[in-house]
Amino acid sequence: MGQSQSVPTPEPGDLIEITRVAYQHWAVYVGDGYVVHVTLPPDGAASSSSRSGPAKKAMVRKQKLQEVVGHHKWRINNILDKKYKPRPPQIIVEEALGQVGKMMEYSVISKNCEHFATQLRYGKAESWQVINAEVAAGFAPLYVFPAIALWFPVSIVAAAVLISRR
């Protein structure tokens, strides 16, 4: 199972960052060892075609943190606490649990797991993975601190940004 590295026990409403091979997965801790996160639906209904192109779908799920983490590393990362005031934990948890089982639109660039998690915690959907990928791809102003850019592998997101801009 994945282990945190000297990370304290998460509190309800904390954002959990899980380091995967080429990206970071994000979830919201809701207590008792559980997180709520966005993932592929179990029935394979992740995409469908439309005139405007493929529509991606994701499902909001509640799972044990260790089940989601698997063998990967994780940490508590309330990434935007210095930029935005976090919402009260009980509101974050209530809203997260209210989303469980729902299907939602999914886009690596505009509606990913980090957007979902930051929307719940701060009331603002932001993804530093996307911002950093855009900077790396040359599509955004260079206002990202270099130290922050090192925290997020951007290869997959950068590729998605480049493909979506065609």
- Which positions are annotated as active-site residues? 25, 37, 113
Tokens 């997965």 appear where? 25
- 2, 72 Cβ separation under 8 angstroms: yes
SS3 54: coil
Report the sign of the C-alpha dihedral through residues 3, 5, 7, 10, in that order. negative
Residue 102's DSSP bridge partners are none
Residue 111's DSSP bridge partners are 107
Structure tokens at 60: 């909001």
Please state, in angstroms and rounded to a whole number, the distance separating the CA atoms of residues 66 and 60: 17
- Overall size of the chain counted in residues: 166
